[in-house]
Amino acid sequence: MDMTWFDDMEKRIPTGEVRTRFAPSPTGYMHIGNLRTALYTWLIARHAGGRFILRIEDTDQSRLVEGATEVIYNTLKECRLTWDEGPDIGGPVGPYIQTERRDLYAKYAHLLVEKGEAYYCFCDKAESAEDSGNFEKTEDPCRSLSFEEAKARVEAGESYVVRQKIPREGQTTFQDVIFGDITVDNDTLDDQVLMKRDGLPTYNFANVIDDHLMGITHVVRGSEYLSSAPKYTRLYHAFGWPVPEYVHCPPVMRDAHNKMSKRHGDPSYEDLKAQGYITPAILNYVTLLGWAPKGENAEREFFTLEDLTEIFEMASVSKSPSIFDQEKLKYFNGHYLREMSAEDFYALAEPHLKAAIHAPQVDLKLVAPLVQGRCDTLMDIAPQVDFFDALPQYSNELYCHKKMKTDEANSLEALKLTLPVLEGLAEWTYDSIHGALVGLAEKLELKNGRIMWPVRTALSGKAVTPGGAVELCQILGREETLKRMEQGITQLS
């Protein structure tokens, strides 16, 4: 075989830098394990000052989901996992979509056959069963065909697949950053399909060819691919190519026995966003699913993407599976919400405030600061503020508060005394309302709570509110405040 074309392909490969890739299949949503793989892969490249490549692996055409590629793009962009080369921006070793590279793979498969490292197989076996790991290993009669006989059958138009030719004796050893050296007996490996009858490569073949031709130095993937790594390693050796650093990450689990699964209702990245979690918190928490900082950062919990770029090392990833704890994520999310600037929080909170409050006189920018410190997710906003829109039905028992020393009788008295004071205010501002209510309590020689609690209850109809009586008066406005207090007097009478 003329090697000129292959030599030209080798000359295109970038060298002298760390190059990593995220290579998802557009088969659905971005699950948490996928996001963690993308994040770790990105961090390896950025920590080393290298290049991060996005590649779309769409060779399994039967599983493609419409719109899934856009989900991949949008998720990475929202998470600020910027790529240096990819389908949308190109690069020196494109194309970056596997089906657009399909002419490459057959050439390399035929080269392997000529090298004696693969063979043409004409048997009618279920490739799908092999792909799923359910194929029962038996001696393939096509394995012993001479190259000349097999080639003649191919040229005669007979349907075939290309299989890897694994030695029956000896062992294969590969290295993994997390798991160390792993050795397997060759007789435990099957002659996997490399090229399918439709002319498309299998995932196991295409990703090896693409990783080499794109100069990938570190391959990050789930530990479920550990069993395939010996066969990948043998392919690299068969071509005489350097083996990249393998990083096989343990799975993210729902519990001690079950991996996370959309089928079981476990959330994707998009689901978490819809549930009110914010991207920085999700990324921070997902990074810690199996990875732990060392040294001076060992006890630290909160990291920005910039922090992680500085300190991230794959050697610190645990061999053990990690359990996804949504309550822990909620803790992280609440921290990030509380640490935000008022302006940034309002930008996130505004849609939730508008969905809950339609009263035109309510200034949402006054409401947002009241809830910022009381939210673990953005979904906590609406239930706290819906009373601004409409006073709910409530029991008079809410007026009874042991600590405030209020009951129904003295609450009625407090509202009757407070109503004319508020009616007489020349200005409706926080300071004027505060002065009026505190002044009335002093005049009556009462603690502030004796006045404030009945007012807050009448205005909200809730036992717990963001903000006290003064804030509620200010936000509801004069007309609505007085109306609700009159309704409270009527209800207590």
What does the DSSP assignment read for 336-391?
Answer: HHHHS-HHHHHHHHHHHHHHH---TT--HHHHHHHHHTT-SSGGGHHHHHGGGTSP
- Identity (one letter) of the amino acid at 273? K
From residue 394, give the alpha-carbon distance in Å to each of 390, 397, 399, 457, 478: 12, 8, 10, 9, 22
Helix (H) or strand (E) holding 484: helix 478-492
Look up tokens 């498969």; give the residue.
109
3-state helix, strand, coil in the chain (%, to 5): 50, 10, 35
- Say how far apart CA 391 and CA 362 lie, in whole Å: 14
With beta carbons less than 8 A apart as the criterion, state whether 2 and 33 touch.
no
Asked about 262 being catalytic, the answer comes back as yes
- Say how far apart CA 229 and CA 181 lie, in whole Å: 12
The DSSP secondary-structure symbol of 235 reads H
| Structure-block tokens of residue 133 | 């790991």
Helix (H) or strand (E) holding 209: helix 203-213
From residue 174, give the alpha-carbon distance in Å to each of 122, 171, 238, 442: 31, 10, 14, 80
With beta carbons less than 8 A apart as the criterion, state whether 55 and 93 touch.
no
Is cis: bond before 95, omega within 30 of 0?
yes
Number of H helices, E strands in the chain: 20, 11
With beta carbons less than 8 A apart as the criterion, state whether 145 and 231 touch.
no
Catalytic one among 77, 115, 137, 262?
262
- Say how far apart CA 473 and CA 16 lie, in whole Å: 66
**397 CB-contact burial (10 Å; exposed 0-12 / middle 13-18 / buried 19+):** exposed
In 3D space, the residue among 245, 227, 230, 225 whose CA is nearest the CA of residue 41 turns out to be 245
In 3D space, the residue among 347, 372, 368, 344 whose CA is nearest the CA of residue 356 turns out to be 368
Helix (H) or strand (E) holding 32: helix 32-47
The catalytic site residues sit at 262
